[in-house]
Chains A and B, each alone.
Chain A
Amino acid sequence: MIQFSHVNKFYGSYQALVDVNATVNKGEVVVVCGPSGSGKSTLIRTVNRLEPIQSGQVLFDGQNVHADLKSAELNRLRARIGFVFQSFNLFPHLSVLENIMLSPVRVNAVKRGEASQTAMRLLDRVGLAHKAKAYPAQLSGGQQQRVAIARALAMEPPVMLFDEPTSSLDPEMVGEVLAVIRSLAADGMTMMCVTHEMNFARDVADCVWFMDAGKILEIGAPADFFSNPQHPRAQRFLSDLHVR
């Protein structure tokens, strides 16, 4: 579904991604982990081209995301990739319901009535139907992130990307957001998730990618990765986190 091949990315002379090769299969949940500054977020942002790359290819559903696309093609592509940000990025001038309805109505030309029904169904799914009329500033961080997930789901994307979805949350709110992501995984959604939540990775992931200094150093099933990491850097990372 998503395929990285020989992806290289530079910020000036600093190389943020070094020859990344990996594949996310349909229905698979991939967790990307690694120390801060290792390129995890950069990598996930190349999938919908929020970050440009200098060489290599990122294929989404067989389509080269970084090819010389017309802007309309790129917009269509992005509309099919759900993306959830660390800082939620809800639109503060719109109510929760309008946040979710905006893109289906304006990008996919869904009728307002239909979009509103879908939005309410999704709000119900993330447990926030009673907050439909509230504004983002009136919600807690965990609630905002759940709305952000509903907003991404409203575009009916075949794949969801999560860029550290719980990193800016108070600890007691992490659980409610992870529960929503877990339920998506249970429904068979293809997902790529950058996170520091190792217990979540162990439970939910089909595959763990460990990154450091712009490289993927290790790819493995969570059972193997957490009990028996191969790369010395991964061993050090896990023992620092006390998850072994």
Chain B
Amino acid sequence: MLSNMITIIEDNWLLLLIGQYPNGPLGGISSTLILSVLGIVLAFPLSVLIALARLSHWKVLNWPATALVYIVRGVPLLMLILWVYFLVPLLIGDSVPGFVTMLCTLVIYEGAFLSEIVRGGIVALPAGQMDAARALGHSHFGAMRYVILPQALYNMMPSILSQFVSTIKETTLGYVINVPELTFAASQLNNRLLTKPFEIFAILAIVYFVVCWSLSELANRLEKRIDKQRQGDDQPAAGPLEHASPQTRGAT
């Protein structure tokens, strides 16, 4: 069986890596990773906006944001994918590639989930931070931008990374609307070889595991480092904290 798996990889590594590209759309693990990275990167600014709206005293902002979060949290991702799949073409009057449909869905879905992480990070900071910023004359927005968010987002980096790992796993659901990604590539392979489903899906599982486990491990290390720093008087806090300037943080 192991030798079967190695043979399958040797014969089909390119399909698993990039799908049918350049003869077809980009697929395989590269498509999965691009989809996840774009999903998180686009969802992140959205999530900050949703979180700020959720924390706002203005009902016009608070209400729709809260409704969005509750709806998305209460609906399975698969429902959301199918819904976007059928709705978006109706709205824009043209068919949309599966990749784009999946990306839109992920941005909404991850945006809602990340916004709860962001909101939690903001609420967890001592109230004195906001008081101090306001007492110095900063506007609410200025206090958020220079004082609250830089701290909250830095503290949240491990959670955001975990959410990224979830996103990688969630891209597999793109399979149902024929998004060319890793699971799709594996199933194409299975349709072609027919007799080796166990080996093929074992390879698939191993690839997902390696990617997700490495990222989770990175999140753990990050968390330990941040914990150490929070307690850490003796630690030279200058290094890591400097990396946490608002500019670099925006790039996560």
Q: Answer whether A and B are interacting partners.
A: yes
Residues of B within 8 A of A38 (CB): none
B147 neighbours in A (Cβ, 8 Å): 91, 102
Q: Which of B79-87, B94-102, B164-172, B231-239 contacts A (4 or more CB under 8 A)?
A: B231-239
**Which residues of B from 124 to 182 have beta carbons under 8 Å from A?**
126, 128-129, 131-140, 142, 146-147, 150-151, 154
CA distance A106 to B137 in the complex (A): 9
Contact B136 A152 (CB under 8 A): yes
Contact A89 B129 (CB under 8 A): yes
User: Which of chain A's residues have a CB closer than 8 A to the CB of B230?
Assistant: 137
Interface core residue of B129, B132, B146, B151 (most chain A CB under 10 Å): B132
Q: Which residues of A contact B142 (CB under 8 A)?
A: 106-107
Q: Which of A75, A151, A152, A155 contacts B139 (CB 8 A)?
A: A75
A240 to B24, CA, bound (A): 86
The closest CB in chain A to the CB of B136 belongs to A103
Closest to A45 in B: B131
How distant is the Cα of A90 from the Cα of B126 in the complex, in angstroms? 11
Q: With contacts A93-B150, A133-B238, A138-B237 known, is A50 near B137, CB below 8 A?
A: no
Which residues on A sit within 8 Å (CB–CB) of B229?
A: 137
- B241 in contact (CB, < 8 A): yes
Considering only CB atoms, which chain A residue lies closest to B155 in the complex? Answer: A93
Flag whether B55 is at the interface (Cβ < 8 A): no
List, in ascending order, chain B residues with CB within 8 A of A133's CB: 238
| Cα–Cα distance between A15 and B99 once the two chains are bound (Å) | 60
Given contacts A137-B237, A138-B233, A78 and B128 within 8 Å (CB-CB): no
Instruction: Chain B residues near A151: list those with CB within 8 A.
Output: 136
Distance A93 CA – B150 CA, assembled complex (angstroms): 7
User: What is the number of contacts between chain A and chain B, taking CB atoms within 8 Å?
Assistant: 76
- Size of A's binding interface in residues, CB under 8 A: 31
Contact of A91 among B129, B140, B238 (CB under 8 A): B129
Provide the bound-state CA to CA distance between A67 and B135, in Å.
17
Q: Is the CB of A107 within 8 A of B137?
A: yes
Given known contacts A89-B131, A93-B151, A137 and B137 CB-to-CB distance under 8 angstroms: no
Chain B residue at minimal CB-CB distance from A76: B137
Chain A residue at minimum C-beta to C-beta distance from B137:
A79
Set of chain B residues within 8 Å of A80, measured between Cβ atoms: 137
Given A102-B146, A106-B146, A138-B233, decide whether A50 and B140 contact each other with a Cβ distance below 8 A.
no
**Partner of A78 from B129, B134, B154, B237 at Cβ < 8 Å:** B134
Segment 76-106 of A: residues with Cβ below 8 Å from B: 76, 78-81, 83, 85, 87, 89-93, 95, 102-103, 106
B137 touches A78 (CB 8 A): yes
Q: Contact check: which of A76, A135, A155 meets B237 at CB < 8 Å?
A: A135
B residues in contact (CB < 8 Å) with A: 126, 128-129, 131-140, 142, 146-147, 150-151, 154, 229-230, 232-233, 237-238, 241, 244
27 contacts between A and B (CB under 8 A): A48-B135, A71-B139, A71-B140, A72-B139, A75-B134, A75-B138, A78-B135, A83-B132, A83-B136, A85-B128, A85-B132, A89-B126, A89-B131, A89-B132, A91-B132, A91-B147, A93-B241, A102-B136, A102-B147, A103-B138, A106-B138, A106-B142, A107-B136, A107-B137, A135-B238, A137-B232, A151-B136
**Extra contacts besides A83-B136, A89-B131 (4): CB < 8 Å:** A78-B134, A85-B131, A91-B133, A93-B150
